[in-house]
Structure 1
Amino acid sequence: MTSSATAATPPSPYLVLGAAIVLPASGHVILGVPVRGLQFLFFMVILAWVTAKIAPADASFVGRHAGGFLIYALSILDAYKIARIRTAKWVHNARRDNDSAQSGIETHT
């Protein structure tokens, strides 16, 4: 049986969000899922290259690499969502364990 009091506190969703904005895939690394971050990086590079090849010559830098920026934005949202879910689960389990400890009921997970 593991109690949320003994379970490690998940990283702050805002820390993960900031890291993911500053450096792509770093939010996933902080969350302990670096392979997922590498997958996002791979598709960022691939789609940036594809859109650079098919974009018109007079397009801006962002326009020429729009596919990569799209995946970058999705990776930020994904890392933040995972962090928020983990934090919400941790808080829920902590409250449940606290309530059961106060009522004398033992929970098994």
Structure 2
Amino acid sequence: MSTSDPSPAPVSPYLVLGAAIVLPASGHVILGIPVRGLQFLFFMVVLAWVTARISPPDASFVGRHAGGFLIYALSILDAYKIARIRTAKWAHNARTEGNDTQSGIEPHT
């Protein structure tokens, strides 16, 4: 049996992408997985600190904190990927729920 209440649309992947770019871990918070965002923040700080300690003194700011910027970029990609997958699943489920009655396929009882 299918339910008549469609699930609410997920958050726009572009909103999640923009939030993740502006403020680290905010994309994960919007998606409802703040612990994952905090994990990214923790490793961002740790790797930025490690690369600042091992980099030469004449390196640029980005070069001194390259580890943190790497994790920052990965967290942006991760939040966007999760949002895109949720949106694709929602769209697929909405399409298939509407087609079950029109395709003539009898539900298995």
**TM-score, length of structure 2 as denominator length:** 0.90
1:28-43 to 2 correspondences below 5 Å: 28-43=28-43
Alpha carbons of structure 1 residues 33 and 106: separation in structure 2 relative to 1, 3 Å: farther
Q: Residue 61 of structure 1 corresponds to which residue in structure 2?
A: 61
Give % identity: 81
Q: Unpaired runs of 5+ in structure 2?
A: none
What secondary structure, in the 3-state scheme, does the structure 2 residue paired with 1:102 have?
coil
Q: Does 1:16 align with 2:16?
A: yes
**TM-score, length of structure 1 as denominator length:** 0.90
Q: Return the offset for 1:8.
A: 1.7
Alpha carbons of structure 1 residues 94 and 19: separation in structure 2 relative to 1, 3 Å: same
Q: Residue 49 of structure 1 corresponds to which residue in structure 2?
A: 49
Number of aligned residues: 108
Deviation per residue, 1:29-79 (Å, 9 max, x gap): 000000000000000000000000000000000000000000000000000
Work out whether residues 12 and 83 of structure 1, in 8 Å CA contact, stay in contact via their aligned partners in 2: yes
Work out whether residues 48 and 67 of structure 1, in 8 Å CA contact, stay in contact via their aligned partners in 2: yes
Work out whether residues 4 and 97 of structure 1, in 8 Å CA contact, stay in contact via their aligned partners in 2: no
Query: Root-mean-square deviation (CA), in Å?
Result: 2.0
Work out whether residues 44 and 68 of structure 1, in 8 Å CA contact, stay in contact via their aligned partners in 2: yes
